[in-house]
Amino acid sequence: MKLADMTVTAFTDTVASDAPAPGGGSVAALAGSIGAALTAMVACLTQGRKKYADFAAYAAQVEEKGNDLKRRLMDVMDRDTEAFNLVSAAFGMPKTTDEEKAARSAAIQEGLKACTKTPMEMMELMDETIALAHSLLEKGFNDTAASDLGVAFLSLKAGIQGAWLNVLINIGSLKDQTFVGEYRTKGEALLARALPLADDGYARLLTMIQG
C-alpha cells in the first residue's frame, strides 16, 4: 500500500514501529504536503467573499497551485521510501568474491544517490510552496485564516529542514564528490531562500493575530 493511501493512524503506527521506512524523509514530505494543503485552504477561504473580492482571482491561482504541490509532495513521499528500500536491498547483496563486493558497493552508491535525489526534490517543492504561501501575505487573503497560514509556514519550514537532513546523511556516504558538491550547494541555496521567507511569514502572522 502507498503511504499516501494509509490512514493517519496506520501511517503513524508504521513510523513508530521498528520498520526502517517510512522514516524522517517521508515524514518531512508529509509535513510539506500539509503546508501546501493549508496554503490551498487559505486561498480557498479567500474566494467567494465580498470583503476579499479584489484578491479572489489570485487566490484561485494559489489554491490550484497549492493543491498541485500537495499532490507532488505526497508522490515524492512514497518514492523516498522506495529509494530507501533499494539501498536496503543493495546492502543485502552477496559479498563473498571481489566481483560481488564491487557490484554491491556500486549498487549501494547508486542507491544512496537515489536517496539523495528524493529529499532534494522535496526541498525544491517546499521552497516553491513557501514562496506561494508568502505571496498571499503580499496579495491579500482572508485574515480569519491567519493561524492556518501560520501553521503552513511552520510545517513547510520543518519539512524543508527535515529533507535537508536526509540529503546530508546520504551525501556523507557518497564517494562521488562532484555529486556531493552539487547537492550540497543546491540545498544550501534553497535553505537560504526559503527559511527567511518562512520565518518572515510566521512573524507577520503572529503580529497580525496578537494585534
Q: How far apart are CA 205 and CA 195, in angstroms?
A: 15
Q: How far apart are CA 193 and CA 136, in angstroms?
A: 17
Q: How far apart are CA 5 and CA 11, in angstroms?
A: 9
Q: How far apart are CA 74 and CA 68, in angstroms?
A: 10
Q: Walk along the chain (211 residues) and give the pLDDT tens digit of each residue.
A: 789 899 999 999 999 999 888 889 999 999 999 999 999 999 999 999 999 999 999 999 999 999 999 999 999 999 998 888 888 999 999 999 999 999 999 999 999 999 999 999 999 999 999 999 999 999 999 999 999 999 999 999 999 999 999 999 999 999 999 999 999 999 999 999 999 999 999 999 999 999 7
Report angle CA 170, 129, 28 to the nearest 5 degrees: 35
User: What pLDDT is stored for residue 102 in this prediction?
Assistant: 94
The dihedral built from the CA positions of residue 37, 128, 111 and 91, taken in this order, carries a sign that is negative
Q: Count other Cβ atoms within 10 Å, centred on residue 185.
A: 10
Q: Count other Cβ atoms within 10 Å, centred on residue 137.
A: 17
Q: How far apart are CA 195 and CA 137, in angstroms?
A: 16
User: What pLDDT is stored for residue 42 in this prediction?
Assistant: 98
What would you report as the CA-atom Rg of the chain, rounded to the nearest whole angstrom? Answer: 20
Give me the phi and psi of 175, to 5 degrees please. -90, -25
Query: Alpha helices of the chain — where are they, by DSSP H?
Result: 8-15, 24-46, 56-91, 98-139, 146-171, 177-210
Q: How far apart are CA 102 and CA 46, in angstroms?
A: 58
For residue 113, give the nearest of 27, 177, 192, 29 by alpha carbon.
177
Q: How far apart are CA 128 and CA 33, in angstroms?
A: 12
